[in-house]
């Protein structure tokens, strides 16, 4: 296994980490509208992700930085090509971060309601667009001999990619509902569980359609295995939430995300961004990667830093392991 | 196509706008994290309530500010790929590595521990909670180091070779990239300048309250801390600026010549106080100068030769082929002056402020002020400044808050624009760095969106800051005074409201 293959795996892992973690906080953001009955419940939901959403988002920044360093051509083609969707995602992430931090900084109800609206939309839109983006990456887009994206904005909105977007949207919302049932107490927990079950069924239909489509289109043996794992885990997660086993359900919905993302990357390999115009023009792990020296240095950095990151991020989840409910929300805000 | 709206021009404007905006928050984040950590340490060590209230007060302002710093930083990372894809392809092998290090080592650190600090007040024992804010502080400084190493490589590329086959620059010595003198002096200069911002921020806000005779014990302490920070940082900025100037003179003679509007080389070279010139003809029509000072700034002696703009332009034409290698001279010239002028004015305010509030005079017979009194602003041992003059100092202190920010912004504009037409000095021209595939409309859209969004958020942030500044330090609750002794903080009523939540 050469270093650029290792880095392909690392980047896949970073995206898995990102979708696993920010997946549930996007989901919780969406649920502020679907699940919370009153403003106190909204605040319970927001506070379940309060201490961790920022750390979750860094997985994206790391995936971006790692792509820049390990596969500069991929980074350049992807972000200059998917210009407008990326712009929308960035705007959402900016507003979302500010919304979390500023919502409670003023007591006026209008102020808080506006930020709550912002949290809902800025969670929903990226959750949808990431799926669209990955759908397009896996399916292949119009890339010319100079590795430049020559398609337009509307080329990105094809049925396969849009289905991918619906899958990430529903899957993250399901994942978020399971997380909410795991982190809350009282009435909201019961309703989170019931809603998670329904969301799970919708997710299952969409996800199976998308994954099978992917398998038929670009799959191989490895991606088939990952697909089966994702499918089994998703069914398990739905069953577990039905049975009231929230911890198990969350673990399994996490496995679903991990296996589904892994499947996309397996279907992609050894390309990183296939060209739909001519396979010769596809970006691959070899022609898009950095020099072996850079990859070596980065490998050392990742080998030392990653375990530490996992250690202190896990510790955060441990510190804030307690469930919260409306009784923990002070009346002041 | 209208040349003024060429994608390169738009992309440069967008980079300038997003970077200057981002860098209004970054220095305050860096310095306020450390200052808050320092005050919280004082609380943990002494148990004095005023330190705890000060921690909560400055901590809140820090959080309002860091939120903007974090979210505007996301744009910075992806902008290279969006607007500067040919740059990313050409230097990703080198430039990407410090960026990835920044994410892996600094961002994770900062963002994870900030969550622990915000929500951990009633979940973590005192000392562990204190450690969290120190971790945040270390994270912000590490982050600055990696990004400055990356930027320094653009100012002065080292540790690389050109791979003709792949048509790109490749890294050969990462250690050299991280430790070259450009990176180290830029880091020194940027960090000290960051503390100049934090010091002035603290001085201004403390002055605001003291002028109204409110929250006196907390604000007196904060004022002194701010003044001392301002002075140490001011001296550090001056020293590091001088070092950086000498490095810059050797590595980027054009930038130094442009900063001085020195058209033709001279020995000894004068420092220009005021100049007005004709860029097309390449000479100054008005010039007020201090003889020999530029030679000293560049070479540490008062008589040596410093090459001028025309000389360097000619030398670069011989080396890199025909073309105009001059940056925008008025911007470089005035940017350099605004940077130094506003930076040094802040230092001056700090020195005067510390002198006016020094203990010996504050405690002079007849002028004695106790712990709970506003310093009298004593000028002579027995004569206090008139109340009017006293108020003036508070107003000056308030205005000083803006000075380091202006100095910082001009510093970046100078250092980035002074390098043009190069994006990587001597290696890659800015016009060859833009994304070839993105349309004028796309770049224009994103520029308008970011500018509008940033403008709205700036108003929101400033209003919030003003609200919390005016409100002053918060009253303490019972939970504040008795933090949990074990992790999880579950020794008390499990249903009590969280101390600090969204």
What pLDDT, on the 0 to 100 scale, is given for residue B84? 92
Q: What percent of chain A has pLDDT over 70?
A: 99
The answer to whether residue B69 is domain-embedded is yes
pLDDT of residue B303: 83
pLDDT in tens, B195-209: 999 999 999 999 888
Contact B425/B252 with Cβ under 8 angstroms?
A: yes
Can you give the pTM of this predicted structure? 0.91
Question: CA B325, CA B318: separation in Å to the nearest integer?
Answer: 11
Tell me, what's the pLDDT at B376? 58
Partners of A102 on chain B (C-beta within 8 Å) are 64, 67, 460, 464
Task: Write down the H helix ranges in B321-380.
Answer: 329-356, 359-362
- Flag if B104 and A301 touch (Cβ within 8 Å): yes
Q: For residue B278, name the pLDDT band (cuts at 50, 70, 90).
A: confident
Number of structural domains (chain B) is: 1
Residue A267's CATH number: 1.20.1630
Name which residue leads in pLDDT, A217 or A258: A258
- CB contacts of A70 in chain B (<8 Å) are 96, 100
Residue B410 lies in a domain: yes
Give me the mean pLDDT over the A12-38 stretch.
Answer: 94
Distances in Å between the alpha carbon of A324 and those of A40, A184, B173, B460, B495?
12, 5, 51, 30, 9
The yes-or-no verdict on residue B381 having pLDDT over 60 is: no
> Percentage of residues in chain B with pLDDT exceeding 90?
48
Measure the CA–CA gap between B221 and B470, rounded to whole angstroms. Answer: 18
Q: State whether residue B457 sits within 8 Å of chain A by CB.
A: yes
Whether A105 is covered by a domain: the verdict is: yes
Q: What pLDDT is attached to residue A35?
A: 92
In tens, the pLDDT along A37-53 reads 888 899 999 999 988 99
> Rounded CA gap, B425 and B500, in Å?
48
Q: Which domain holds residue A64?
A: 3-293
CB A159 within 8 Å of CB A122: no
Q: How many residues does chain B have?
A: 502
Q: Which B residues, 52 through 71, put their C-beta within 8 Å of a C-beta on chain A?
A: 63-64, 67-68, 70-71
B267 part of a folded domain:
no
Helix residue spans in B120-215 (DSSP H)? 126-155, 174-179, 181-211
User: How many angstroms separate the CA of residue A21 from the nearest CA in chain B?
Assistant: 13
In the numeric block, which tokens belong to residue B62?
Answer: 């820090």
Position B289 in a domain: no
User: To the nearest 5 percent, what fractions of chain A are helix, strand and coil?
Assistant: 80, 5, 15
Is residue A300 assigned to a domain?
no
Please give the structure tokens belonging to residue B415: 């250092």
B269 touches chain A (CB under 8 A): no
At residue B363, the pLDDT reads 46
CA-wise closest residue to A60 among A20, A31, A28, A100: A20
CA distance B335 to B441: 30
Residue in A81, A104, A327 closest to B437 by CB? A81
Q: Is residue B141 part of a domain?
A: yes
**pLDDT reported for residue B285:** 76
User: Strand B378-380 and strand B383-384: pairing?
Assistant: antiparallel
Q: What pLDDT is recorded for position A232?
A: 95
Nearest CA in chain B to A70: B93
Residue B100: burial class (beta carbons within 10 Å; 0-12, 13-18, 19+)? buried
> Residue B92 in 3-state DSSP?
helix
B479 contacts chain A (CB < 8 A):
no
For testing the chain B interface, which of A32, A88, A313, A319 should be mutated: the one with the most B CBs within 10 Å? A319
What proportion of chain B, given as a percentage, has pLDDT over 70? Answer: 90
In DSSP terms, B170 is beta-bridged to B161
* Residue B335 near residue B410, CB atoms below 8 Å: yes
Is position A326 within any domain? no
What band does B431 get if pLDDT is binned at 50, 70 and 90? confident
CA distance A47 to B500: 10
Tell me whether residue A228 is in a domain. yes
Q: Indicate whether B498 belongs to any domain.
A: no
Instruction: State mean pLDDT over B337-354.
Output: 90
**Residue B383 pLDDT exceeds 90:** no
What integer best gives the mean pLDDT of chain B?
Answer: 86
Contacts of A58 in chain B (CB under 8 A): 103, 107-108, 111-112
- In the predicted structure, residue B388 carries a pLDDT above the cut 80: no
Q: Is the pLDDT of residue A236 over 80?
A: yes
Name the residue with higher pLDDT: B400 or A26: A26
By residue range, what is the domain housing residue B325? 7-250+321-481
pLDDT above 90 for B370: no
- CB–CB of B96 and A97 under 8 A? no
The pLDDT, as a whole number, for residue B43 is 93
What is the pLDDT averaged over residues B372-385? 58
pLDDT at A333: 47
A293 to B104: CB separation less than 8 angstroms, yes or no:
no
Of the given ranges (A88-92, B58-62, B481-485), which has the lowest mean pLDDT? B481-485
- Comparing A206-220, B226-240, B469-483, the range with the smallest average pLDDT is B469-483
Average pLDDT over chain A reads 92
pLDDT score for B330? 87
The answer to whether position A96 is within a domain reads yes
- Residue B165's pLDDT band, with cuts at 50, 70 and 90, is confident
On whether the CB atoms of residues B97 and A294 are closer than 8 A, the answer is: yes
- Residue B451 is predicted with a pLDDT of 93
B72 alpha carbon, distance to own chain's centre: 15
Structure confidence by residue, pLDDT tens digits, B305-344: 888 888 888 888 888 888 888 888 889 988 998 999 999 9
Residue A325 belongs to a domain: no
- What number is the average pLDDT over the span B153-163? 92
Q: Looking at the complex, report in whole angstroms how far the Cα of residue B463 sits from the nearest Cα belonging to chain A.
A: 10
More confident residue, B497 or B100: B100
Pairwise CA distance, residues B193 & B407, whole Å = 9
The reply to whether residue A94 touches residue B116, judged by beta carbons under 8 angstroms, is no
Is position B235 within any domain? Answer: yes
CB contact under 8 A, B119 and A102: no
Q: How far, in whole angstroms, is CA B473 from its chain's centroid?
A: 26
Return the pLDDT at A321: 87
Which range, of B336-340, B401-405, B410-414, B487-491, averages the lowest pLDDT? B487-491
Inform me whether the pLDDT recorded for B101 exceeds 50.
yes
Question: For the residues B375-394, what does the mean pLDDT come to?
Answer: 61
Of B78, B102, B457, the CB nearest to A79: B78
Give the ranges where B289-328 is alpha helix by DSSP (H): 293-299, 309-320
User: According to the model, what pLDDT value does residue B499 have?
Assistant: 65
In a domain, A35, yes or no: yes
Residue B256 included in any domain: no
Beta bridge partners of B169: B162
**Does position B469 have pLDDT exceeding 50, yes or no?**
yes
Residue B1 confidence (pLDDT) above 50: no
Q: Could you tell me if residue A301 is inside a domain?
A: no
* Per-residue tokens: A278: 């001519």
């Amino acid at each position: 296994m050469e270093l650029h293959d290792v880095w392909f795996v690392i980047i896949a892992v970073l995206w898995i980490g990102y979708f696993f973690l920010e997946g549930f906080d996007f989901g919780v953001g969406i649920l502020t509208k679907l699940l919370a009955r009153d403003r106190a419940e909204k605040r319970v939901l927001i506070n379940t992700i309060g201490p961790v959403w920022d750390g979750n988002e860094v997985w994206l920044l790391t995936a971006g930085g790692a792509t820049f360093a390990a596969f500069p051509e991929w980074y350049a083609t992807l972000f200059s090509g998917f210009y407008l969707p990326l712009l929308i995602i960035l705007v959402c992430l900016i507003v979302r971060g500010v919304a979390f931090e500023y919502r409670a900084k003023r007591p006026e109800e209008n102020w808080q309601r506006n930020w709550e609206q912002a949290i809902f939309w800025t969670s929903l839109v990226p959750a949808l667009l990431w799926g669209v983006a990955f759908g397009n990456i896996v399916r292949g887009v119009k890339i010319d001999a100079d590795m430049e994206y020559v398609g337009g904005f509307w080329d990105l909105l094809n049925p396969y990619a849009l289905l991918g977007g619906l899958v990430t949207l529903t899957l993250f919302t399901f994942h978020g509902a399971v997380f909410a049932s795991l982190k809350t107490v009282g009435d909201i927990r019961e309703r989170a569980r019931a809603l998670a079950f329904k969301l799970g069924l919708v997710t299952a239909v969409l996800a199976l359609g998308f994954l099978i489509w992917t398998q038929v289109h670009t799959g191989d043996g490895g991606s088939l295995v990952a697909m089966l794992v994702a499918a089994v885990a998703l069914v398990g997660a739905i069953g577990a939430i039905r049975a009231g086993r929230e911890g198990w359900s969350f673990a399994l919905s996490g496995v679903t995300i991990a296996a589904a993302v892994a499947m996309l990357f397996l279907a992609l390999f050894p390309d990183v961004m296939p060209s739909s115009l001519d396979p010769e023009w596809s970006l691959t792990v070899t022609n898009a990667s950095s020099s072996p020296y850079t990859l070596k240095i980065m490998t050392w950095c990742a080998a030392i830093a990653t375990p530490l990151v996992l250690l202190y991020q896990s510790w955060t989840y441990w510190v804030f392991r307690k469930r919260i409910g409306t009784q923990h929300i002070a009346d002041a805000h | 196509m209208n040349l003024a709206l060429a994608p390169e021009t738009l992309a440069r404007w967008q980079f300038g706008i997003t970077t200057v905006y981002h860098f209004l928050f970054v220095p305050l984040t860096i310095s306020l994290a450390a200052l808050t950590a320092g005050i919280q340490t004082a609380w943990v060590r002494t148990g004095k309530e005023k330190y705890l209230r000060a921690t909560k007060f400055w901590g809140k302002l820090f959080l309002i500010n860091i939120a903007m710093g974090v979210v505007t930083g996301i744009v910075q990372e992806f902008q290279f790929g969006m607007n500067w894809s040919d740059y990313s392809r050409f230097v990703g092998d080198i430039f990407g590595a410090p960026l990835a290090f920044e994410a892996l080592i600094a961002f994770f650190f900062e963002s994870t521990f900030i969550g622990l600090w915000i929500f951990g007040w009633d979940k973590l024992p005192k000392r562990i909670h204190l450690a969290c804010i120190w971790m945040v502080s270390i994270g912000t400084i590490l982050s600055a180091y990696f990004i400055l190493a990356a930027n320094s490589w653009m100012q002065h590329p080292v540790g690389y070779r050109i791979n003709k086959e792949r048509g790109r620059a490749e890294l050969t010595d990462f250690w050299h990239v991280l430790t070259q003198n450009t990176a180290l002096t830029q880091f020194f200069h940027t960090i000290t300048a960051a503390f100049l911002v934090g010091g002035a921020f603290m001085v201004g806000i403390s002055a605001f309250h003291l002028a109204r005779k409110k929250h006196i014990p907390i604000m007196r302490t904060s004022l002194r801390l701010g003044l001392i920070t301002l002075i140490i940082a001011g001296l550090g900025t001056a020293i590091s600026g001088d070092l950086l100037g000498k490095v810059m003179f050797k590595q980027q003679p054009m930038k130094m010549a442009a900063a001085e509007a020195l058209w033709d080389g001279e020995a000894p070279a004068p420092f220009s106080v005021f100049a007005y010139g004709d860029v097309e003809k390449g000479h100054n029509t008005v010039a007020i100068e201090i003889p020999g000072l530029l030679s000293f700034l560049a070479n540490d002696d008062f008589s040596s030769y410093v090459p001028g703009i025309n000389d360097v332009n000619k030398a670069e034409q011989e080396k890199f082929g025909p073309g105009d290698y001059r940056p925008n001279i008025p911007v470089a010239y005035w940017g350099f002056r605004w940077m130094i002028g506003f930076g040094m004015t802040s230092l001056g305010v700090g020195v005067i402020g510390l002198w006016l509030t020094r203990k010996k005079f504050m405690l002079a017979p007849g002028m004695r002020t106790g712990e709970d009194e506003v310093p009298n602003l004593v000028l002579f041992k027995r004569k206090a400044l008139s109340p009017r003059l006293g108020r003036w100092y508070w107003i000056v202190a308030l205005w000083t808050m803006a000075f380091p920010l202006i100095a910082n912004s001009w510093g970046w504009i100078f250092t980035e624009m002074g390098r043009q037409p190069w994006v990587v000095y001597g290696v890659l021209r800015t016009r060859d760095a833009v994304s070839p595939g993105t349309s004028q409309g796309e770049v224009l859209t994103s520029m308008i969106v970011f500018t509008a969004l940033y403008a709205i958020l700036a108003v929101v942030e400033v209003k919030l800051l003003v609200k919390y500044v005016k409100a002053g330090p918060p009253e303490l609750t019972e939970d504040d005074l008795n933090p949990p002794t074990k992790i999880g903080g579950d020794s008390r009523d499990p249903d009590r409201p969280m101390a600090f939540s969204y």
